Chains A and B, each alone.
Chain A
């Protein structure tokens, strides 16, 4: 089963394809991925990539690719994830190099959040963000998230940003 496509401003959310992996692995092999677990070799990256796709098939939520509508390029991904080691469900988003600052990550996260709070019935979600990842913290604030210092976290270094309650989400 593949996820339905979602269209929003300037971008589409669609299921991942195998040909997204080259960009994905190149990003995760680079220093640009230092705030999201990288740099990491492609063999490890494959686990994140295929695992997000498989989790979505199994659970009904997971990762989707962000496609730039004008060019069709793979611009990043957003992921609804709640693996066993996460205390709470996360709405994650990653931009591929060259696609930052265009509003794609927050736009995609907003669409993913609407899906989570609507059809999936989530009542809350967080983002786990490294404290020196200023760009991601700025995106979290744009999404209306606020720091939740009391929230549990799997990595004690991370900050936890909590999304607004579903009724307050736009």
Chain B
């Protein structure tokens, strides 16, 4: 079973059915532009269900970010590593280069009221530590849209370094950032 991770302020816990509402609101907003674009409620449900199923199938995955002060579900963070990912137009949020051999560390803070508080950084640190130390992954990456300057800045603050750029299914460049292994972060 996947642990509940405590960070200084938000808590990472397993997704629940009642997280679907804030997730759907976020994914149906322009704020989802950099993670595959807006999608309607049916597609948001599918995205959410896939993330939950991934946890059971892989034994690790994306967690819900809960604001400890309010109990609100404000975002998701964690690891994503589908089987046989490859570029595909059908579902542009879900692709990866053919030689992608490691999970992605991903994050979003969907509640605008919780932006800028460092929640993404705190929870991404916890998720990355989980990836290396508990899930035992030898390496992890983040793929970030080139226009998503805030997310790129966060990746760099986390010590991730630019690895290479691949072509996304829509033909646009997609930079990949490699996270440092635990010994390099000491």
Query: B-contacting residues of A (Cβ < 8 Å)?
Result: 2, 15-18, 21-22, 25, 40-44, 46-47, 49-59, 83-85
Contact = CB atoms under 8 A, between A and B. Distances in A.
Range class of the B interface residue count: 20 to 34
Nearest to A16: B57
A87 to B, nearest CB: 13
B186 interface: no
B56 A58 contact: no
Contacts of B95: 43
Interface of B: 15-17, 20, 41-42, 45-46, 48-58, 82-86, 88, 90-91, 94-95
B96 to A, nearest CB: 8
Given A43-B88, A43-B94, A59-B17, A54 B52 contact: yes
A54 B90 contact: no
Contacts of A83: 42, 45-46
B42 A84 contact: yes
Given A43-B94, A47-B46, A2 B56 contact: yes
Nearest to A2: B56
A47 B49 CA distance: 9
- Identify whether the interface residues of A are mostly helix, strand, loop, or mixed: helix
Contacts of A52: 49, 53
B56 A46 contact: no
Contacts of B84: 21, 25, 42-43, 46
A48 to B, nearest CB: 9
Given A44-B88, A55-B49, 18 more contacts: A21-B57, A41-B86, A41-B88, A42-B84, A43-B90, A46-B85, A49-B57, A52-B53, A53-B56, A54-B52, A54-B53, A54-B54, A54-B56, A55-B52, A55-B53, A58-B15, A58-B16, A58-B48
